Structure 1
């Protein structure tokens, strides 16, 4: 090729490049994830504390994995963790995403929790090798464009509106006006007030309320004149941290509820999903599925410090209602039918003053799996002296780990009772225990004590040999073990 020809080709290429730049502008900066990790204590007690990290993506592309690392001072150690994969080298800790929470979309967040023995706080935090404060959000350089005639385009509406809230008043308005498919997102901060909704989602379009662990709901109530049976009433504040009433198909995720009369209450709200929430320092029970809030799920959540006012009434998780309360809450043929509720992979305790899980009569076919129970602080009042009391029917209780140590009052790991009701059910019958690990701390009698034997002859309870126990006064169970 002659020099003249080569010059012509180069000139033509340059002109073409200029034309492309003028037509489309300077190309935008490549999309990238930008992760930060925020630490927050959720509860503090003598000798330790509970805490969590919220990993947020401030970038404009999804993050497909995360690892948070930090150091703890000598004398302080992580004793338990959840929603992450933990590794340790001396006082250096590394927490990587679990299989279900590795992807963090732009503007989204995930969290994991830890229980710490000692008072020292994390230092030198990094996320994916960068400071936990996150990289600086970059702004693409201005683009150069040519002026074009206006064009008319049609943009479809988003699939489900997003409502961002940062104040208590905004949250109350969002709850009052929620519609199916809507996503309500809490900013970090403290929200004080009465938070209740009576709006229903649908199976195809559930309503979501989500936020980071340092988005904290507090209800300083109750106040006003309460109705005979709890129902949202003008002029009355229930004192509940968050109340779903006649509001099925909600998903609650990530945030914290504390310093309220009750934590989260679902009344006549089936298909409620509670995922990754923290509930602590509650006067009574932390989470209550009530008035036939069937087919609901509680998972990946942390509950500590309940029953601060009346210890025997401070359950971690309450499924259904005692038959003595069916006059108020028995909305299914006179019975509170909180059936098929699943309680999965939660950390409950320490200082849950009543049972970590109380399964009430008249409820059927639930699943309690993969939970960790820390029995410290169980009060012994009002028969609160076990990790779980089962009066329901047909429950599967498996793969849980329970421990007990002072202080507290402890009788057995799992207790089972048959309660007479009308209409008559075989309460306390047909339940199955398998692959549960129990450490009774040298105090409790049996890991699993079955009291409903003769009354359950037609639908017996089954304790499999895969259950194990240590430090028990009497042994694994008081009934024959099934291989």
Structure 2
């Protein structure tokens, strides 16, 4: 029997004719269909070529190990709870045509997401309390979520491709601080839930801290860097959503293609910043129909906890914005008074074209 492809995705591929060839090109069949006779060997380098071998390698990963994916399609549930160390991170690497697909979810989900017997999360790759992993080169597609890091600080994701995802592509959750996403490509997210189809999701909404807050009740996804990625088109929610309670991140050198932003669940900008003390610099953003677009960059100040002046102290510099004649401001600051003690700063080095209202709604700083 051919591998199962959910009806919702089969229908989407029929509609998205412009991307079908690309999807087929990076999703060869073959290795995943083989059945291993032995588990993958132990050692510094573990070569895998089948789904069972990859699952075993993730289960048995050890600090300093490199798991090397052969080209091919790996269809199944891929999760690890093994931690690397600062001196000996664990690496999962493969070429772009090593493709991870999870046709889940399946089974009864726990109240809060955690690896649970009998439940498949549907995540393409899940790091669960597994810090110090390096993920490089491979592709994740056709999954509920793309790559999720839960309680996994010091995760490095470099040169991966994530596309055709039901919800968000990459989520740093449960205080997965000091992590890096770089040189990666994200497109076609939110296929099933457009309002939850973020390209990159940093932290968690305050309403979800009961599940995902593990540092004083707050999801402290601090000091995460998002560098040199291409995000879009058809990322249905924000290309980057910076949640309240996170701080001191760096978003630099990314390219945002706003085509297909849905407008659902207030998704109408390239980045929505609700965190504190972020530097957003050297990015290039464009917008063209189809889609809903209000402003290039927005900030908001959710009153989640008195101790967190959310949405304050952020800095924008050297960003280039083309709003396609649709958006109002390149950078829209929602509240000045709420951040009087730690204001947001928009430098004059930012530029804008084809804006209805201009660069920003606050005075610029030289």
- For normalisation by structure 2, the TM-score amounts to 0.90
Query: 2:104 is matched with which residue?
Result: 221
**Runs of 4+ in structure 1 displaced over 3 angstroms?**
43-52
Query: 2:83 is matched with which residue?
Result: 200
Query: 1:320 is matched with which residue?
Result: 203
d(CA) in 2 for partners of 1:362, 1:447 = 24
Q: Deviations over 1:357-407 (max 9, x none)?
A: 000000000000000000000000110000000000000000000000000
Relative distance call for 1:176 and 1:47 in structure 2 (3 A) is: closer
Query: In 2, are the aligned partners of 1:339 and 1:366 still within 8 Å (CA)?
Result: yes
Q: CA deviation at 1:310?
A: 1.2
Query: 1:464 is matched with which residue?
Result: 347
Query: 1:436 is matched with which residue?
Result: 319
Structure 2: 5+ residue stretches without partners: 1-12, 26-42
d(CA) in 1 for partners of 2:353, 2:17 = 26
The equivalences for 1:166-181 within 5 A come to 166-181=49-64
Query: 1:380 is matched with which residue?
Result: 263
Query: In 2, are the aligned partners of 1:346 and 1:371 still within 8 Å (CA)?
Result: yes
Residue 304 of structure 1 pairs with residue 193 of structure 2? no
d(CA) in 2 for partners of 1:45, 1:326 = 36
Q: 1:244 aligns with which of 112, 127, 134?
A: 127
The equivalences for 1:301-450 within 5 A come to 301-422=184-305, 424-450=307-333
Q: CA deviation at 1:421?
A: 1.3
Query: In 2, are the aligned partners of 1:284 and 1:310 still within 8 Å (CA)?
Result: yes
Structure 1: 5+ residue stretches without partners: 1-42, 55-159
d(CA) in 2 for partners of 1:235, 1:257 = 23
d(CA) in 1 for partners of 2:215, 2:322 = 38
d(CA) in 2 for partners of 1:279, 1:184 = 19
Which has the larger strand fraction?
1
Q: Deviations over 1:77-135 (max 9, x none)?
A: xxxxxxxxxxxxxxxxxxxxxxxxxxxxxxxxxxxxxxxxxxxxxxxxxxxxxxxxxxx
d(CA) in 1 for partners of 2:213, 2:195 = 22
Q: Deviations over 1:294-345 (max 9, x none)?
A: 0000000000000000111100000000000000000001000000000000
CA RMSD in angstroms, aligned pairs only? 1.7
Query: 2:356 is matched with which residue?
Result: 473
Query: 1:210 is matched with which residue?
Result: 93
d(CA) in 2 for partners of 1:190, 1:46 = 21
d(CA) in 2 for partners of 1:210, 1:427 = 36
